[in-house]
Every structure is written in C-alpha cells, then in structure tokens.
Structure 1
C-alpha cells in the first residue's frame, strides 16, 4: 500500500494537519518525460498562507514545549517510514522531477540522512554558560524563532525542502513550506504525509504548493520570522528585499556558476570522469553543477576529447523505463533557455565538441570547446547539461577568470599536489571547496552555503549553522539577591 495515495489526495494541499482544497486553482502533476498527468494537487493563494501561518502560530508553543526526545522521536520515525517506502518516493522523483533512477535513490538517501541528523539536533545543547564579572549565573540560550517559512525549488525537491523543514522542526519551530508547483509532491506533499504518519502534531507543518502570490504572502506575513529560500539569484534578491523591509531574517541559497579547475599535473582520465559527473548529473539542474571547466593548456585537448567522448556515450531518455544517465529537462521553458545559451556561444566562436541537440525535453549532454570568458554559456548559469571548457596558461590568468563571476557557491580543484590545490583555493572565494573532487556534494553534517550572488552564507548543515538559522539567542542572568544601585 502506498504511503501517499495521490488519488485520495486529489486536488488537495496539506494545511494545518488536514488534507483540504486550497483557495487557488488546481494543477496536474506532470511527468516531464512525456507530459502525462500523475495526479492533481491544489495550489495555495494568499488566504491559504494566512490560515496556515495562524495555525502554525497557535501550534508552535506546545511543540516547542514538548520534551526534546519526543521531537527527536517523530523525526526518527519519519526516517524509518521513508526507508520502508524508499522505492515509492524514488519512483515519484523519477516521474515528477525527471530524475534518473540513480539520482532518485541518492536523493532518498539524503532525505533519510537529513531526518536522522535533525533528530540528533533536537538533542543538542540549547546554549552555553558565559563568563560574567558579577556574582551570578550568565547564560546564552537558543530559543525557537516561532514560525519558519520555507520556499524550495524543483531540482532536488526532497532534500532542498527537508534540509530546512527538518532542522526547523527539531529546534521547536512550526513550518509553512511552499514547494515549487512543478514538484509539489516530491518537494512537499509526500513529506507532509510522512511526518503526519510519524506523529507530528496538527498545525506544526503546512505544505502549500503555489506560485509567486503564495511565496510573496509567506515572505510578507508578519508572523513568519525567518524565511529559508532556495532558488535563483534573481528571485532571491526579491525575497531578500521583501524580508529586509520587514526586518525579518532571510536565509538565501541561490544560484551558482561553479568552476572546476583542472591543473597541469592531473590524471586526465580521472579528471574527465569528475568533470562529466559534475556537469551532467541530473541534466545539470543543480546549483552546484560544474558550470565552468578551466583546464590548463598542457592537458586541454586530451580533457576536451575525453569529456566529449563521455558525453556522447551517456544514454538520455525516459528514466521510468530506460536505464539512462540523463532524464528530461524540467520543462520547455528551461530547455529553451539552455539551448539559447549553447547556440549563442557557438555563434560567438565556441566549438561544439558534443551534444547541442534535443528531442522534446531530452537534451544531449553538451561540451563546448575553445570557450572565451565572454561566451554566455560560460559567463551565465546554464542550469542544463552543458560543460563549457576554457583554456588557461598561468595561475594568475586562472584566478582572474574565475573571480570575474558574481557567484561563489562551489569550487573544485583537480591536482596531484593537494597543498598546491589548497593554496590556490585561498585565491578563489567560494562557500565550498573540494580538492580532487567535482563541485556537486552535500552532507547533512557539513556546512553548506555560498557567498556573493550565490547566497547569504552558511545556513544549512551541522549543528552550528542550523541553530543559527532557526533559533534566536537570548542572554539570561540569575543571581541570589537583588542588585543594589546608587539611586
């Protein structure tokens, strides 16, 4: 029996613990592989957001006051339920998000890991004892912010929702989640059913798929004190501006045009393998995708030839029925954007070494050679399976080219000399650095976040970052007698 019966939940959303019709329109859950409908969900409008936030505000104090081990137990049960229903969730990721089966299984594992980590977070210390010049006890205490708003994207819908929802719940907050309507099920409604069956009290979580109106209402609502947003840099700027006017915190994890640096001393075959994975995993629809390959001139031709051969070998097709490496782009709008950047770069002088064609939403993994820094596929975030490869001669030239980008999320440096890689990384600002690995990686226990146009720093991963994101710090003192003053 399925954990989430889409037929029984047809045209519904999850509001304050109940499956109910929203005030907005409905939307088909569309399979990008063939355009078929997997079901129908309800979309929220501003009135639904208000109802959900008011319910969250009522439910949050009791959830925060619940024993910490009860909160941890809910999250552990959710992890166990997901493990028991992993195939169902992976199948939904394949159907709704266009995930290849390997990517879907990997994402399920990430969500399970995040739930287990959040259960541990509920057991973490809530503050520290401070030094004080007076004869008293002085404490710094972490307290829940209250209601957290989460806005998540379509590409890795499960983990990019769970990495905010689970730690926020663990720390005693209530959450209103607005997943991308293109992945409403895998990005939210499945998680709602999972947590409800695990025993999460009604009202503590609402899941409201919706568009810009619902997202704007969530950001603007006066009772939502923290917004956790993952999405494009352009949208993130608007969220940050709205939140700033209201003096509320906005944690922004935004786009990236990540550099993979290939130095002159590498094992070229190994570098090609890393580069192909970094650019083509999940059709390149990942903020951490290797969007810029910068390769030393001495190994450039071998690297391009190897990467193009790898791209040509990778099977592309319907992940529901074929053993494929790449599935479909999420929709035609995104596919056309990818193709526009590829075509513009070729017209400007780049050489198409592999790919550059598509059938419906299935875009071939693409390698662009002889790329210049001003070519659009190199200078802009593509969010598709495209690997632009630029040649460099010296480290100073490399540093100049990498640092021209406004982004600063993830960086990979491939070299036989680890210390050389670490030294070079100091000259390349980035929130994440991997020496001898490609740019796509994430662990629940590790800090995650970008700098500059890639976001507002580390807001995910590990105890410290999650506590900073989803709690407030207050100072408490206590002494045995009333302090006397000269007034």
Structure 2
C-alpha cells in the first residue's frame, strides 16, 4: 500500500494521531515544473496549534517515562520505513519541490540516516557525576524539554524537518511541526505517515502547515519550550525576538552567502567542477550554496571561461520527465527575486554576464557573473538561486578580507594543492563549516551543523552532542545519606 495514499491525507492535517480537517483554508499542492495540482492541502490556524500543543504536552509525559529501548525502537522502525518507501517519497519530492532525482534520493537517504542516528540517543548516558565539597553525591542529569516547536522551510523540506524532529522525539519530547505550505506533503505529511507506521504513540507528533500566524502561534504557545527554526535570516530574527520575549530557547539555522576560495596552485578543472555543483545544485536553493567564488588572479580568466562553458551546456527542465541537471525554482516570487539581483548586478560597471541570466517560466538558467566586487548586489546578498558571482583576489590577505566581508558565516570551501595551507586559511575566516578541496554544500547526519553571524546561532543540529544540548535541559541533583544540618 502506498505510504501517501491521497485519500488518507488530502485536505486534512495530522494532529492527535489522526487525520482530520484543519480550521484554515484549503490550498492546492502545486508542481512548480508544470503548475499542475498534485492534491489539496488543508491549512492549520492558531486555534489548531493551541489544541495540538495541549494534547502533545499530555502525551509527552508518558513518552519521556517510557524505557529508552522503546523510544529507540520507534526511531529504528522509522529509519527502515524511509528506505522501504524511498521511491514513492522521492517521486513526491521531485514533483512538489522540483528536486532533480539525485537530490530527491539524497534527501530520503539523509532522513533515513537521521533516524538511525536519533535511535542511538535514548541509550546514551544522560548525566555525569561531578565533584562536590560536601558529604554528598553530586550529579547532573538531562531531561526532555517537553514540547518542541519545529518550523521548516520549502527548499529541502524532508531534511530540514527530520533533523530536528527525529532527535527531539528520541530524547523524550513531543513535537509540533509547521512545514512551509508550498512543500507540506514532503516536509510534513510524509513524516506523519512515517512515524504513524513506526508506532509512535498518538499525540507526540503533530503537523500544522500554515502561514506566519501559525508559526507565531507555535513560538508563543506556553507549552512549547524550545524552538527549532530553519529559514531566512529575516524571518529568523523575528522568531528569535519573539522567542526571547517569551523566554524560550530558539535554535536558528538561517541564510548563507558562502565563499569558495580557489588558490593560485589549484587545478582549474577541479575547481570549476566544485564551483558548478556548489552554486547550481538544487537550483541554488540551499543555505550552504556557494554564493561567492573568490579566484586567484592568475587563474581568474580561465576559471570564468570554463565555468561559463559548463553553464551553457547544463540541461534545465522538468526533473519528473527529463534527464536534467537543474529543475524549477519554487515559485514566481523566488524567480523574480533571483532575476532582480542578476540584472541589477549585470548593470554595474565592470560586471559581465558571462552565462545565463535568462529563464523560461520557473526554469532559471545557471548563471555566471564575472567582475563582481564586494559592493555588487550578487556578491553582497544571499541569492538563493543558480547564480555564480566570481571575484578575483591577489593575496591571501585579500582573499580573507573578501571572504569575511559578509554578515553570514555558514560554510566555506577552499581549493588548493596544499591541504594544510587550506586549513590555516580556513582558521582565519569565521564560519560554522569549512571544507578543504570541496565545495560548500555538504551534510551528514552525524556531523554538527550550523553557522555564525547572520547564519544562525551555531551548531545546534547534527551529532549527538549538538542534539542532546538542543533538546534537553540539565538538572543538578545531590543526594545525602542523612539530612544536612544548618546553624538556624
């Protein structure tokens, strides 16, 4: 039986362990490549959030008290279900998100790995003994935070939801997930079906697709203790401010404008291969996308020529029907934002449109902008589209200055024949992630993930240490063999 049988979820939301009608409007699930309707989606409202949080809080207490092997078993079954239904889920990812098959498959495989990694968390030590100056036993102990609110974006909806949902559940919490309405099937309803089939007790995981009002309700609800948000820096600032007013922890994974530095001794063909993938994979709709190419002046002209030639020969089209390298961007608003940055940059004196800069419907050609400087819009702003702005540098100090000339600090790539030199250079540039002889887009379930500056609040995703820190509270506990005595 299909995991996503349309009769099960069409025009419904998932709360309290069942599919039911939400209080909001019904919207079409659209395929960006064709504009056709894939189904109907019922949106939630703030009233639905309040009801869902109430039942989630009640269900969480019993789940937190469950044996750790029971929680781990649910996550293991969920991992197996991702693998079992990979083809079906990938099909939805291609159609709803516009992902090429390779990207769709990668998302499902990563979701599987996220669940395997999360399955190891319940069995890990949840405290430690610490020294004390008193005749007592002194220790720390980790406890679930209670209800976790997860707000995930449209671009890689499966990964950017499951990487918070899976560890939060594994550590004994309940989760309210608000996916982007544009990709709520793969970013929300798929997860609901996976955990439903995996035997997760009712009420622990609730999917509430909706707009800004629903997101604000998740943040401000008195029962949500921790917020995990992935999205734009602009939206993340609002979430952080709102969470701060309500004295809640907010883990924010935000935008990026990552640099790829090509040093003088680099192999140009290898560098161009990395650059093309870093800027154009998934239409550039990834927070880690290479947004700035910094190339040594001795290689600059050759690099631009070869990158532009690669852009010209890459096929763009419907990934569900054709073998293409790039699919559509998510919607017309995103396309127009990309094109505005490209055209305004191409109009700057000294900047040359070396390839691309054109689109057909939602299919934007891979684009190369040569001659950019730190003041060029395409260099200074996160584009979130398939655009490669290329700047030149002469010295390592100049490369460091250019790479650091950004409010963002997510990922960094350095291409060099001297790997240790690359590490030394990376140490001079503040980012949450750095790759030597690789491009900026990398992700593994067991690796810490996050950025600095306007890219977020650090590594709060991935790896056991980050996940345990993100979704538990620490309590100090002391034990005496008999009651302490005090002077009054």
Q: Counterpart of 2:252 in 1: which secondary structure?
A: strand
Deviations 1:50-105 (A, max 9, x none): 01100101100001011111111111111111111100000000000000001101
Following the alignment from structure 1 to structure 2, what is the Cα–Cα distance between the partners of residues 111 and 311?
30
**Structure 1 residue 373, shift from structure 2 partner:** 1.2
**Structure 1 residue 39, shift from structure 2 partner:** 0.5
TM-score relative to the length of structure 1: 0.99
> What aligned pairs does 1:318-329 form with structure 2 within 5 A after superposition?
318-329=318-329
Q: Counterpart of 1:8 in 2: which secondary structure?
A: helix
User: Structure 1: which 4+ aligned runs deviate by more than 2 Å?
Assistant: none
Deviations 1:295-347 (A, max 9, x none): 00001111111111111121100000101110000000000000000000001
Following the alignment from structure 2 to structure 1, what is the Cα–Cα distance between the partners of residues 160 and 6?
22
Residue 345 of structure 2 contacts residue 378 of structure 2 at CA under 8 Å; is this kept in 1?
Answer: yes
* Gap runs ≥5 in structure 2: none
Deviations 1:332-367 (A, max 9, x none): 000000000000000113111111100000000001
Residue 8 of structure 2 contacts residue 19 of structure 2 at CA under 8 Å; is this kept in 1?
Answer: no
Residue 17 of structure 2 contacts residue 205 of structure 2 at CA under 8 Å; is this kept in 1?
Answer: yes
Residue 7 of structure 1 contacts residue 39 of structure 1 at CA under 8 Å; is this kept in 2?
Answer: no
RMSD, matched Cα = 0.8
**Structure 1 residue 181, shift from structure 2 partner:** 0.4
Following the alignment from structure 2 to structure 1, what is the Cα–Cα distance between the partners of residues 53 and 173?
12
Following the alignment from structure 2 to structure 1, what is the Cα–Cα distance between the partners of residues 465 and 138?
20
Equivalent residue, structure 2, for 1:404:
405
**Structure 1 residue 432, shift from structure 2 partner:** 0.5
Equivalent residue, structure 2, for 1:204:
204
Following the alignment from structure 1 to structure 2, what is the Cα–Cα distance between the partners of residues 464 and 115?
16
Equivalent residue, structure 2, for 1:112:
112
Q: Counterpart of 2:41 in 1: which secondary structure?
A: strand
Q: Does 1:26 align with 2:53?
A: no
Q: Does 1:360 align with 2:361?
A: yes
**Structure 1 residue 7, shift from structure 2 partner:** 3.0
Q: Does 1:444 align with 2:458?
A: no
Q: Counterpart of 2:7 in 1: which secondary structure?
A: coil
Equivalent residue, structure 2, for 1:394:
395
Following the alignment from structure 1 to structure 2, what is the Cα–Cα distance between the partners of residues 108 and 412?
25
Equivalent residue, structure 1, for 2:256:
256
Following the alignment from structure 1 to structure 2, what is the Cα–Cα distance between the partners of residues 404 and 372?
11
> What aligned pairs does 1:138-287 form with structure 2 within 5 A after superposition?
138-287=138-287
Following the alignment from structure 1 to structure 2, what is the Cα–Cα distance between the partners of residues 232 and 360?
24
Equivalent residue, structure 2, for 1:385:
386
**Structure 1 residue 8, shift from structure 2 partner:** 3.1
Q: Counterpart of 1:352 in 2: which secondary structure?
A: strand
* Gap runs ≥5 in structure 1: none
Equivalent residue, structure 2, for 1:370:
371
Following the alignment from structure 1 to structure 2, what is the Cα–Cα distance between the partners of residues 157 and 205?
16
Following the alignment from structure 1 to structure 2, what is the Cα–Cα distance between the partners of residues 306 and 341?
23
TM-score relative to the length of structure 2: 0.99
Following the alignment from structure 2 to structure 1, what is the Cα–Cα distance between the partners of residues 317 and 2?
26
Equivalent residue, structure 1, for 2:302:
302
